[in-house]
């Protein structure tokens, strides 16, 4: 037995004061058709219902086809996509996704079915004007697209909000010294000194192990948590002084390593406030190291080896940030060795 698909009429017609009106059967909203002619009013209502009926019919047909090939397709919501993203990648990435997706900004999408999602749903998120949320929404959208869970982009690439990155800077030597002067906690003080000497990311540095140090070759080697790339650098005399005050086995920062990255960032902000330092984060130590390396003329390949070959801090500093003043030619001439006398035939 074949059942005919019946769809409820979207708009109904009624007359009030000689003027014909339409009424939305779902919302109850009423709207004047601005006509007293019954035939014209009925044509307008039929046109409105037809415009609504065709997309609904298309959706029903799509459901029928997709259910046959993938029964879960029509029921899949954005929360399923979020769960999939949170189960992939490095632990730090999974934690970041889990934290971001808890934001109320995603509440409007969380239970929304992928098949029923429209650009308007995404534009509602865009209106909040939150850069990080828009960035993670884009990742979520592209992840679903790559999995084949949505057939076409819901929002075309050129319609996504443009992200204008803030101009970040490295912490200055004076700001660093101000923080050290105000710091009362010995472990925090050593941590900040190590960041200044190594340029390591805050999570990498706080998880350094004594076993990462090779005193025989005087080097520190570790794999970056964010990218997995190897970072390796020589131990300077100043860094040696810092390391000599840290544990010789296990974690170099046994207490600080127990805090989350967000907690350390909050504690650092409070320290900056007390020291009268503004506009910097723990990551600014990384920018500062890269800028200092560029300024003194360290080859980029050496800086990449120290911070990791995928470091954005290196790319940023060596691309434009650090300023180099060329020494005078006279200085080079004074340092240059005299050339041997020319040999004449």
Query: Which pLDDT tens digit goes with each residue over 37-52?
Result: 999 989 888 878 776 6
User: Which position has the higher pLDDT, 236 or 50?
Assistant: 236
What is the model's pLDDT at position 165? Answer: 61
Residue 194 clears pLDDT 90, i.e. is over it: yes
* Tokens (6 digits) for 311: 């470091």
309-338: average pLDDT: 62
144-170: average pLDDT: 83
User: What residues contact 76, with CB distance under 8 A and at least 6 apart?
Assistant: 113, 114, 115, 149
**Total Cβ atoms within 10 A of residue 310:** 14
- The structural domains of the chain, ordered by start, are 11-69 (no CATH), 74-159 (1.10.150), 173-321 (1.10.443.10)
Question: Among the ranges 17-26, 141-150, 157-166, 204-213, which has the highest mean pLDDT value?
Answer: 204-213
Region of 82 please: left (phi>0), alpha (psi -120 to 50) or beta: alpha
Confidence of residue 67 (pLDDT cuts 50, 70, 90): low
User: Which position has the higher pLDDT, 96 or 5?
Assistant: 96
189-214: average pLDDT: 94
Under DSSP, the state recorded for 247 is -
Residues 48-87: b if buried by 16+ CB within 10 A, e if exposed: bbeeeeeeeeeeeeeeeeeeeeeeebbebbbeebbeebbe
Confidence (pTM): 0.59
Confidence of residue 333 (pLDDT cuts 50, 70, 90): low
What is the model's pLDDT at position 238? Answer: 93
The answer to whether the beta carbons of residues 33 and 16 sit under 8 Å apart is no
- Containing 173, the helix (H) or strand (E) segment is helix 173-182
Q: What are phi and psi of 328, to 5 degrees?
A: -70, 155
User: What residues contact 197, with CB distance under 8 A and at least 6 apart?
Assistant: 236, 238, 239, 242
Confidence of residue 297 (pLDDT cuts 50, 70, 90): confident
221-245: average pLDDT: 89
Q: In this predicted model, what pLDDT tens digit does every residue of 76-129 receive, in sequence order?
A: 899 999 999 998 877 778 888 988 999 999 999 999 998 889 899 999 999 998
The answer to whether the beta carbons of residues 199 and 289 sit under 8 Å apart is yes
User: Which position has the higher pLDDT, 343 or 258?
Assistant: 258
């Amino acid at each position: 037995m074949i059942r005919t698909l019946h769809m409820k009429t979207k708009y109904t017609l009624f007359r009030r004061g000689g003027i014909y009106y339409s009424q939305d059967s779902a919302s109850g909203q009423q709207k004047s058709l601005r006509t007293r002619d019954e035939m014209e009013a009925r044509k307008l209502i039929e046109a409105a219902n037809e415009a609504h009926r065709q997309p609904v019919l298309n959706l029903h047909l799509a459901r029928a086809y997709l259910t046959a090939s993938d029964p879960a397709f029509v029921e899949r919501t954005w929360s399923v996509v979020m769960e999939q993203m949170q189960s992939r990648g490095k632990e730090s990435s999974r934690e970041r996704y889990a934290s971001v997706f808890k934001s109320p900004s995603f509440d409007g999408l969380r239970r929304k079915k992928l098949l029923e999602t429209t650009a308007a749903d995404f534009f509602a998120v865009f209106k909040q004007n939150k850069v990080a949320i828009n960035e993670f929404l884009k990742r979520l959208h592209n992840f679903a697209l790559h999995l084949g869970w949505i057939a076409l982009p819901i929002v075309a690439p050129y319609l996504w909000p443009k992200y204008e990155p803030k101009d970040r800077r490295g912490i200055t030597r004076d700001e660093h010294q101000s923080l050290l002067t105000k710091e009362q906690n010995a472990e925090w003080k050593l941590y900040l000194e190590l960041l200044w000497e190594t340029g390591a990311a805050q999570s990498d540095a706080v998880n350094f192990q004594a076993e990462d140090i090779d005193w025989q070759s005087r080097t520190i080697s570790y794999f970056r948590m964010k990218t997995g790339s190897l970072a390796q650098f020589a131990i300077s005399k100043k860094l040696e002084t810092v390391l000599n005050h840290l544990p010789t086995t296990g974690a170099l920062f046994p207490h600080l390593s127990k805090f989350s990255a967000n907690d350390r960032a909050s504690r650092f902000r409070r320290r900056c406030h007390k020291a009268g330092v503004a506009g910097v984060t723990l990551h600014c130590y990384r920018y500062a190291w890269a800028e200092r390396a560029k300024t003194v003329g360290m080859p980029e390949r050496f800086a990449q080896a120290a911070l990791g070959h995928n470091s954005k801090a290196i790319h940023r500093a060596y691309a434009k940030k650090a300023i180099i003043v060329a020494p005078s030619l006279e200085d080079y001439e004074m340092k240059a060795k005299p050339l041997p006398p020319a040999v004449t035939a």
